[in-house]
A and B are shown apart, each in its own frame.
Chain A
Amino acid sequence: MKELIQLNIRHKLFNKGTLSILNNFQLSVLSGDKIAVMGESGVGKTSLLNILGLIDSDYEGEYTLFQDEAKSLTSKQRAVIRNKNIGFVLQENSLIDSLSIEENIKLPLLYTNEPNKKEIEEHFQLITHKMDIEPLLAKKPLECSGGQRSRAAIARAILMKPDIILADEPTASLDEKNKLRVLELLDDINENYGSTIITVTHDRSVADHHDRIIEMERED
């Protein structure tokens, strides 16, 4: 398995430099890893995902992704990587309410230069069938249950067959049944696509589904 991510953060500052998080934080991730990140609120879990997802580059340190130093990437290059190589799974309300479920899932296609759109369309058919979303495609998110919306959010994240899935509390507002279903889907993606999964969670049972658990602690 090749190394996908090499992260070496000295610190990330907040509140005009008065608050420092992710102090001397190091992380090495291999292709296909399944990692859970735990820790109390404010410790920097979401900030870590923002950095890993190339959303935030305002930190002290180095981040190598696919052999490239993240800070050397242009805004456009970062956007292309987010589109092609990274899938974000957020809480069930991360769908755009004014769009149908199908439009939400196909949103990454709006920004892709992928020549083989037919293949992506076939993949769309496959995942919506597999995730039991087909009957929901014409509906708006608010017409769906929390579990259905979570599945749609995961479908959007994996549409482009990304190398990395970054999940931020993907099961936070779900009941036990739907929580298990989401976790099964993430396992399935990891096994079938070889996608690396990094999940931020407060839930120990969710973290236990991963191969590695990183506990983040606040430095006093």
Chain B
Amino acid sequence: MIKIDKDFYENGQVLFIGYSGGKNRPFSKMVYQAFTNNGIKVYALNNKAEGDYDIKVYGSLGELAEVPTTAYVLLKKENVPGILKELGARGIKRIQFQSSRSADASVLEACAQKGIETAVACPLMKFGSGLHRLHGFFAGVR
């Protein structure tokens, strides 16, 4: 069972790493809206700075005046190790990975070694509606 409560998102903020302005934009937007409609402020990040029509997308952590302590990662797992070091250095304490495609055992192990708490679950299981919540129920997201 994965427990994700509001405390996981300290100060009601989350850093959304891998916000897509490309073909995954609809999904990224859905997650963004689910977070924000539940009172969680989202800082969207994409190092390609693809941007979006509605949402400000930061190109790097350096652009943020204040880095949240929780991150949500929507990247392919081969791209994750490259950012873990920087996230740890910028004070990230908790990371939520979208799915096992974003984090395998080695990634979770690397997070544990850096003292970063992890969860692997789609945010929509917690903050979405309808079928997403049902999916979350069967996936054990509480």
* Co-complex (A, B): no
- B→A interface (CB under 8 Å): none
